[in-house]
Amino acid sequence: MTGADETIFATAVTWHLATQRDDMDWDGFTAWLEADPQHRTIYGEVALTDAALERHADRLAPLSEAYASSTLPRRTWPLWAGGTVAAALAAVLLVPQFIAGRSETFTTESTQRKIALADGSSVLLAPHSRLTVSGRHKDELALAGGAYFEIRHDPQRSLTIRANELEIGDIGTRFEVQATDRAVRVEVSEGQVEVRGDALGDPVELAAGHRILFDPAHGLAMVASVAASDVGEWREGRLTYDAAPLALVASDLARYAGVGVTMPPALAGRRFSGTLSIKDGNAAVRDLSQLMGLELSRDAGAYRLSDPG
């Protein structure tokens, strides 16, 4: 390993250890990964080394306990501790959370957030959303809200995402998930994912250019085509729907346009097809009401849709 490689490796170890801290600089980490292809490669090697150590956690745990109970003076590990073994021991002995597989939760308010996963994959978490990353190999995710996933292809591992009553399995692709209490929408722009759930019966293989809309309240699961440019289009300031429940559209407008929309229960399942610009939330709601032929009024600080007359 050259001096330059050692420096990159040391920085990768430092970032890997830092991912377990509450004050982790995710923007800085993402910038570092994207600055040089070698950064991503070496970081992946560090993450794989950590994963290999976790597979032998039963043998390593006694070492961690012995270290914790010993009278040896504690020390702060420098950026470079002298080799792979020292870096690995730092990860195992000084950060036992890796063995335990501690979960991490990321949340957003009014802005989106890019999250780098340990294997070099990334997630763009939408506003007003929550993502939990757990599992020994950080490959078990749970989403509430919206997110766009760019998963690095790796046939040796399968990442799973829990969204309401569904589970999405993926080994490397680009796709979007929108999950609310009422519905889940999955759209694939590249590759293929598998969507599973007790309510679906058999798993659904969803290839690029397709979407599934799962509406448990009405017992519906609809698969349809979707343009690749429409997947994750909220990043471009618009939303396109094809027979989506009005309740799901209202949730999206609250998340992406910052406007609350209420309606009578009888309207929640009514279907909407069309495109809304979300750059102006007020205009988006007005457009929705006109396209649906509904009356629009203000109710307790939020818009309210209702049948005319």
Q: What CATH number matches the domain at 237-309, 3.55.50.30, 3.40.190.10, 3.10.20.440, 3.40.50.920?
A: 3.55.50.30
Q: Are 229 and 208 in contact (CB under 8 A)?
A: no
Confidence grade of residue 199 (pLDDT, cut at 50, 70, 90): confident
pTM above 0.95, yes or no: no
Helix, strand, or coil (residue 166): strand
Higher pLDDT, 161 or 55: 161
d(CA 55, CA 66): 19
CATH 3.55.50.30 domain range(s) in the chain: 237-309
Q: Compute the average pLDDT of residues 263-287.
A: 92
Residue-level pLDDT at 51: 65
At 10-33, the pLDDT tens digits run 888 888 888 777 777 888 888 888
Strands 166-170 and 184-190: unpaired
Confidence grade of residue 101 (pLDDT, cut at 50, 70, 90): low
At the topology level, CATH places domain 103-228 in: Jelly Rolls (2.60.120)
CATH 2.60.120.1440 domain range(s) in the chain: 103-228
Smallest CA-to-CA distance from 49 within 81, 1, 18, 17 is with: 17
Q: Are 192 and 175 in contact (CB under 8 A)?
A: no
Higher pLDDT, 181 or 176: 176
Q: Compute the average pLDDT of residues 166-182.
A: 90
Share of the chain above pLDDT 90, in %: 43
Residue-level pLDDT at 56: 59
